[in-house]
C-alpha cells in the first residue's frame, strides 16, 4: 500500500509570491491534516479536511488555506509569502474516524528568500 505522497519535495520562493503544495493520502483514507514544522515552534497544526470539508483549523493567518478534492487528495496554498513561512510542511492522512491515527508524508521544504 503506497504511503502519503507530498509534492514537490523542495521549493524556493521569494517574499510576496504564493505557493501551492500537494498531498495524496493513503488509499482509502478520507482525512488529510496539514502541519508546519520549524526548529523554534516544532510541529504546529494548520487544518484538517474530511470529505472535502474543513473540519478543524489551527491558529494561522488567513494567508494559509487548503482544500480537498473528491478523491481525498488535498492542496495547501500560502499567499503573500513571508520570510517566516520558511518551514517543512507536512501532510498526514488518516481514516477520519475517532481513532485518528495519522500517517505522515516526507514533507515539502519551503524556503522563502
Partner 1 sequence: QKEVEQDPGPLSVPEGAIVSLNCTYSNSAFQYFMWYRQYSRKGPELLMYTYSSGNKEDGRFTAQVDKSSKYISLFIRDSQPSDSATYLCAMGSNYKLTFGKGTLLTVNP
Under the rule (CB under 8 A), what is the footprint of partner 1?
4, 6, 31, 33, 35, 41-45, 48, 50, 55-56, 58, 90, 92, 96, 98-107
- Write down the least CB distance from residue 75 to partner 1, Å: 18
Contacts of 60 (CB under 8 A, 6+ apart): 36, 44, 46, 47
Residues 82 and 112 sit within 8 Å (Cβ to Cβ): yes
97: which 3 cell numbers? Answer: 474516524
Q: Say how far apart CA 68 and CA 31 lie, in whole Å.
A: 9
Q: Looking at beta carbons only, is 66 or 107 nearer to partner 1?
A: 107
- Write down the least CB distance from residue 42 to partner 1, Å: 4
- Write down the least CB distance from residue 78 to partner 1, Å: 19
Q: Looking at beta carbons only, is 4 or 19 nearer to partner 1?
A: 4
Q: Looking at beta carbons only, is 54 or 80 nearer to partner 1?
A: 54
10: which 3 cell numbers? Answer: 523542495
Q: Measured in whole angstroms, how far is the alpha carbon of residue 67 from the centre of its chain? A: 10
Amino acid at each position: 500500500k503506497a504511503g502519503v505522497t507530498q509534492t514537490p519535495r523542495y521549493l524556493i520562493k521569494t517574499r510576496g509570491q504564493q505557493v501551492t503544495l500537494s498531498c495524496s493520502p493513503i488509499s482509502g483514507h478520507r482525512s488529510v491534516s496539514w502541519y508546519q514544522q520549524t526548529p523554534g515552534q516544532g510541529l504546529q497544526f494548520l487544518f484538517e479536511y474530511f470529505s472535502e470539508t474543513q473540519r478543524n483549523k489551527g491558529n494561522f493567518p488567513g494567508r494559509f488555506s487548503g482544500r480537498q478534492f473528491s478523491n481525498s487528495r488535498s492542496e495547501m496554498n500560502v499567499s503573500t509569502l513571508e520570510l517566516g513561512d520558511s518551514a517543512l510542511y507536512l501532510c498526514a492522512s488518516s481514516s477520519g474516524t475517532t481513532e485518528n491515527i495519522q500517517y505522515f508524508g516526507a514533507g515539502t521544504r519551503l524556503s522563502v528568500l
